[in-house]
Amino acid sequence: MISIVHALAFAVVAVPAAAGGATQLARTPRIVDRIAAIGAVATAGVGVALVLITLLRLGEPLRTGAVTVDAAAAVFLVPIIIVGTASALVSPAYLTDSTRSFFPAAHARRFYYLAFFLFWSALLAVPIAGNLGEAWLFVEATTAASAMLVAYSGGRHALEAGWKYLVLTTAGLTVALTGIVIVYVAAPAAHHNLAGLDWATLGATSHAIPHRTALAAFVLIIVGLAAKIGWAPVHNWLPDAHSEAPPPVSALLSAALLPAVVLVAWRTTRALEPAVGTATTHHFLIGFGLLSLAVAVPFLWRPLAFKRLLAYSSLEHMGVIALGIGFGSRLALAGVVIHVIGHALAKALGFYASIPLLRLQPRAISRPVRGLARLDNRVAGALAISLISLSGLPPSPLFFSELFVLLGGFVAGHAIAASVGAALLALGFLGLVHALIEAMAGRSAPRSSLRIPARQIAPVTVVFLVGLIVLAAGAMSLPDSSVVEALARWAG
């Protein structure tokens, strides 16, 4: 069984990379789209098999120098698989209406899919990387591919956003690399090789690193990764990149990339805890969580273009995940599991809805959405489901996840932080609900005779709505599940 898991772990990274290469052999848009769809379904099949086998053998996680497949990897792989597959399948709807590109017109579609699948391949590698250095390399690899996708349209703002994303996240990862080098040098002499950065080895030997050295390395690594996660105050690239990237790519950036890098930060925290101290690491993550919530709230209250609103919502929700990990109680960890998956479903649906939305209201690229319910019920419904879920309005699964995280904070003895978090989430809720009401019933929407084909938005809306309902229905039983028990054992 271990050999099967090992093979699946390598296959889930190799299959999308191979699919990206295969798209370069096609010569017509239709064939390119078909190859991309086949590659996406094949990747999803391998990924689902890996997740299911991992969940069936939670007591026997695979931890080698190259690969780590455990409960945490399974949880964080789920949104990457779902959103990556859906983004590949909805990409033709975006590309068909795209009139300009950063790439040469004759090759734009093929270059899009090549960058897309390489980005997805690197993303899938991040949660299962067995080594801190290896994880850093894969996170850096996501930057190279996704920066080109952010700038795909070739417009001035898109190029600026892609450059800003590339520079700021690379600068952050350089800071993280400095921390990794400090850990490597300060490790016991017997582990002065790359194997010393394996998660298991690092966790077992980090107590031998002097406290101040370990603390400096921890701060550098987490702050550097925070620039990629989008935690405040190093989130500056996030609103522009989410706004300018093609919607399928924005979905991957927000719903898959950000939480994947959160897992790297979490594994680093666990590995360095013996040297740094549990209280210090937890307070550090709680601080990032509260600051991210506090910075997001004023923007959620402002009239923003829809994709920009979703970007600031990402800042808020990554803050919630940071709080859950920082609180560390079993109830809070159950909230993290629900939040990672629920946020991915709701946020991806919002970005997919923006494809037909921008056809109905082209000015929505830079202005708030208004009066959408009078223009197209299907697009309005998808947008409403996304915003209702992201706001945490019951029975959204994010209502349960935020409730579990906050209650888990009280259980863990962080009553003040949990109370402040509750107040900030309430303010964020009000901002998103106000944006929803204005988007549905605002008065300034222009009339349009354009009708969006049902196949462009209805199937993905139904699938993601069913996913949100299933997740909400199972939320109350999750704290007692074997998945959360395995996470609690690993994180405790």
pLDDT digits (tens, 9 = 90+) for 346-397: 999 999 999 998 888 888 788 888 888 888 888 999 999 999 999 999 999 9
Domain membership of residue 99 (yes or no) is no
Q: 20-27: which pairs have CB atoms within 8 A and are 24 or more residues apart? A: 20/113, 20/114, 20/115, 20/116, 20/117, 20/118, 20/121, 21/114, 23/110, 23/113, 23/114, 23/117, 24/110, 24/114, 26/110
Domain membership of residue 86 (yes or no) is no
Least confident of 146-150, 221-225, 304-308, 365-369: 365-369
Domain membership of residue 152 (yes or no) is no
Domains contained in the chain, number: 1
Q: Which domain holds residue 460?
A: 277-492
C-alpha 356: how far from chain center: 23
Least confident of 158-167, 405-414, 429-438, 441-450: 441-450
Q: Which residues contact 355 (CB under 8 A, 6 or more apart)?
A: 90, 93, 94, 97, 247, 456, 457
Domain membership of residue 373 (yes or no) is yes
pLDDT digits (tens, 9 = 90+) for 440-491: 887 655 555 566 665 678 889 999 999 999 999 999 999 999 999 999 998 8
pLDDT recorded at residue 61? 87
Buried b (16+ CB within 10 A) or exposed e, 122-144: bbbbbbbbbbbbbbbbbbbbbbe
Domain membership of residue 335 (yes or no) is yes
Domain membership of residue 110 (yes or no) is no
Domain membership of residue 293 (yes or no) is yes
Mean pLDDT across the chain, nearest whole number?
A: 91
Domain membership of residue 48 (yes or no) is no
Are the beta carbons of 266 and 132 closer than 8 angstroms?
Answer: no
**Token reading at 303:** 């009239």
Question: Is the pLDDT assigned to residue 165 strictly greater than 60?
Answer: yes
